Chains A and B, each alone.
Chain A
Amino acid sequence: GAVVSQHPSRVICKSGTSVKIECRSLDFQATTMFWYRQFPKQSLMLMATSNEGSKATYEQGVEKDKFLINHASLTLSTLTVTSAHPEDSSFYICSASDLGRGEATQYFGPGTRLLVL
């Protein structure tokens, strides 16, 4: 099956710094990538949807200026958490789809655990 990787898998940063998380589709072209956030003992909540070469679409309540998403190529999307604060500590998971082939299946990355001190 299709493989999606995320980097880093775990990051600890100081409050006020910015953190970049990469999501890569390794063996297919991802026309669309999704970013999810999961707080402890809760389910995944969609943050935003990004299409290659265009601006991301953010879900209600997600600050686009705080969570910057760049889908620069068909295999890479990045999520930058700007001026991170302890409440941003969470598990961030991306998924990728190749909607250009008419497939709605989402392939998920292994996740990135962010801890903001």
Chain B
Amino acid sequence: KQEVTQIPAALSVPEGENLVLNCSFTDSAIYNLQWFRQDPGKGLTSLLLIQSSQREQTSGRLNASLDKSSGRSTLYIAASQPGDSATYLCAHGTYKYIFGTGTRLKVLA
């Protein structure tokens, strides 16, 4: 059974810090890896999609990388802001997505 694990489960940092969220998956087959943001009580906002043939994607202060050989993806957030506070989910798959358990991020002003 494929599993997706996210570490850490929760993270609290002061504003301005650069931080890294980790996502690991047991099935290293060629799949897409997508990072989402979820605010409390809300749906998902897609942040970055790394297709199976890609190694990384960047959008503004966000950078996501994918290493299929090790079954890992990282989401790098530069110069964190209080508005970045949310739960970050990674999902792995091509036709059906398997979601990680999420990292709850709190950026302190």
Contact = CB atoms under 8 A, between A and B. Distances in A.
B32 interface: yes
Contact of A43 (B34, B95, B101): B101
Of the four ranges (under 10, 10 to 19, 20 to 34, 35 or more), the interface on chain A belongs to 20 to 34
Interface in A84-115: 91, 93, 95, 99, 104-111, 113
Contacts of A1: 46
B44 A93 contact: yes
B97 A34 contact: yes
Nearest to B32: A104
Contact of B43 (A42, A46, A49, A110): A110
Contact of A46 (B51, B97, B101): B97
Q: Is the interface of A mostly helix, strand, loop or mixed?
A: strand
A44 interface: yes
A108 to B, nearest CB: 4
B96 A49 contact: yes
Of the four ranges (under 10, 10 to 19, 20 to 34, 35 or more), the interface on chain B belongs to 20 to 34
Contacts of A95: 97
Contacts of A104: 32, 51, 94-95
A34 B34 CA distance: 16
Interface string B67-107: 00000000000000000000001010011111111100000
Contacts of B60: none
Given A104-B32, A107-B46, A113 B97 contact: no
Contacts of B46: 1, 105, 107-108
Interface of A: 1, 6, 32, 34, 36, 42-46, 49, 91, 93, 95, 99, 104-111, 113
